Amino acid sequence: MCFKSLKRSSALVVIVFLFSACQQAPEKPEYPLHYSDAIFGTSFIIKAPALPDSVTSNEIQLKVKKLLDELNRQMSTYLQDSELSKINQNQTGEWIAVSDALYQVLKQANSISELSNGAFDITVGPLVNLWGFGPKGISFVAPDEDKIKQQLLNTGYKNLLFDDEKQQIKKQIPQLYLDLSAIAKGYAVDQVGALLESNGIVDFMVEIGGELRLKGLNIQNKPWRIAVEKPAADQRMIQKVLPLTDISLATSGDYRNFFEVEGVRFSHTIDPRSGKPITHKLASITILSDTTMKADALATALMVLGSEQGYQLAEKQKIAALFIIKTKEGFVEKATDSFVAILR
Ligand code: ADP
Ligand code: MG
């Protein structure tokens, strides 16, 4: 899908937003399942400290690969013949039947849009592309105001209609273009987790492009230790290490995937209200949730809303969120009650 986080080759940008702190010293035991590769324009890691006798690591890897390839064929905007790309190309204005997986992701996206009053909006695709963060690639120049206004007319999550009975969608604006980069990685993590569980694997970590699902314990029989990175573009340092189990985690940040023009930084997160990249002082946000799909989308939603409005919404909705805010004195953390309660 390139559910985004495309690694850009220039000096400007790059990579994963968070890394897992499960690094082991060489003498420590190795995970019998330790699979990492590239997908969706980003990387993934899967680890499990034990496998049942019924499956081998190789078999699991093949199953995971098959699953991820299938999700890519459903939800990528980078593959011209994916299910999603065909929907994007379809300008008939008629009802379109949708696969189970895609329908589930579209419905979850819609509910996060409603919850965030449109801060999360998968129809911002044309603006993502206009700002050069989409499949067409990097622009490095801010687009004209006129073009932004023009593209804004083609957006709005309310223009995507759902028919639950027939599992169909309808684009009320024929040009409506959907971009699942901020939610589909999370969905894929959940699906890989479910696949591992259905194969009898009870402890595991699944990470795709910084979105994670953690189940049970690690190879030392302890909760998984996940490092949240310090949100700075020029260094890779740890802000905080979280011991986690039976939970999902996602981060959103403006410190990796951005471009800069004469000192002004343009984030790949677009505020659907203005059609422009967000510019506020919220450097990163980490969400804990029962599903990775929800965590992924909420991270982007709260990133758009910023440290004040986003924090208020997170408290009101009992979302477990950690905000890292840029100040003159350095990075300041602000956690919601739910976040504190989980880590207590
Ligand atoms: P992050 O980890 O920073 O959240 P993601 O890859 O999960 O990064 O999501 C960012 C991507 O989501 C962007 O590159 C863009 O394709 C898409 N996007 C940008 N703004 C929004 C928005 N307001 N709502 C939904 N998706 C968005
Ligand atoms: Mg995300």
| Atom in ligand 1 nearest the alpha carbon of residue 109 | 25
CA 277 to CA 249: how far, in whole Å?
Answer: 24
Whether 6 maps to a domain, the answer reads: no
| Atom in ligand 1 nearest the alpha carbon of residue 125 | 16
State the DSSP H helix or E strand holding residue 101, giving kind and residue range, or none if neither. helix 100-115
For the residues of 203-237, what is the DSSP string, one character each? Answer: SEEEEETTEEEEES--TTSS-EEEEEEP--TT---
Choose which residue among 211, 269, 271 to substitute to test ligand 1 binding: the one with the highest number of ligand atoms within 8 A of its C-beta.
269
Structure tokens at 104: 């589930």
User: How do residues 95-152 score in pLDDT, each as one tens digit?
Assistant: 999 999 999 999 999 999 999 999 999 999 899 888 888 777 666 678 889 999 999 9
| Atom in ligand 1 nearest the alpha carbon of residue 121 | 24
Whether 194 maps to a domain, the answer reads: no
Q: What count of Cα atoms within 13 Å lies in the side-chain half-sphere of residue 13? A: 28
pTM of the model: 0.90
The β-bridge relationship of strands 247-253 and 168-171 is unpaired
Q: Whose CA is nearest to atom 5 of ligand 1?
A: 182
User: How do residues 284-297 score in pLDDT, each as one tens digit?
Assistant: 899 999 999 999 99
Kindly report the CATH number assigned to the domain that includes residue 167. Answer: 1.10.3980.10
Residue 33 CA to ligand 1 centre (angstroms): 30
CA 106 to CA 201: how far, in whole Å?
Answer: 29
CA 195 to CA 197: how far, in whole Å?
Answer: 5
* Residue 309 · residue 281 · CB < 8 Å: no
* For the chain, counts of helices (H) and of strands (E): 8, 18
Residue 92 CA to ligand 2 centre (angstroms): 31
Ligand 1 pocket (Cβ < 6 Å) reads 3-5, 17, 120-122, 124, 128, 133, 179, 181-182, 185, 210, 251-253, 268-270, 272, 296, 299-300, 304
Whether 247 maps to a domain, the answer reads: no
The dihedral built from the CA positions of residue 242, 299, 230 and 281, taken in this order, carries a sign that is negative
Q: Which-ligand-closest: CA of 126?
A: 1
Whether 116 maps to a domain, the answer reads: yes
CA 225 to CA 234: how far, in whole Å?
Answer: 24
pLDDT of residue 17: 34
Q: Whose CA is nearest to atom 2 of ligand 1?
A: 252
| Atom in ligand 1 nearest the alpha carbon of residue 122 | 25
Domain range for 128: 82-171
Structure tokens at 59: 């078999």
Whether 39 maps to a domain, the answer reads: no
Whether 34 maps to a domain, the answer reads: no
Residue 86 CA to ligand 1 centre (angstroms): 21
User: How do residues 44-73 score in pLDDT, each as one tens digit?
Assistant: 999 999 999 999 999 999 999 999 999 999
Q: Which of 120, 128, 165 is nearest to 303 (CA)?
A: 120
Whether 103 maps to a domain, the answer reads: yes
Burial of 238 (0-12, 13-18, 19+ CB in 10 A): exposed
User: How do residues 208-243 score in pLDDT, each as one tens digit?
Assistant: 999 999 999 999 999 999 988 777 767 777 888 899
* Residue 109 · residue 183 · CB < 8 Å: yes
Q: How many domains does the chain have?
A: 1
CA 32 to CA 34: how far, in whole Å?
Answer: 6
Residue 199 CA to ligand 1 centre (angstroms): 32
Residue 5 CA to ligand 2 centre (angstroms): 9
Whether 111 maps to a domain, the answer reads: yes
Structure tokens at 193: 């987790």
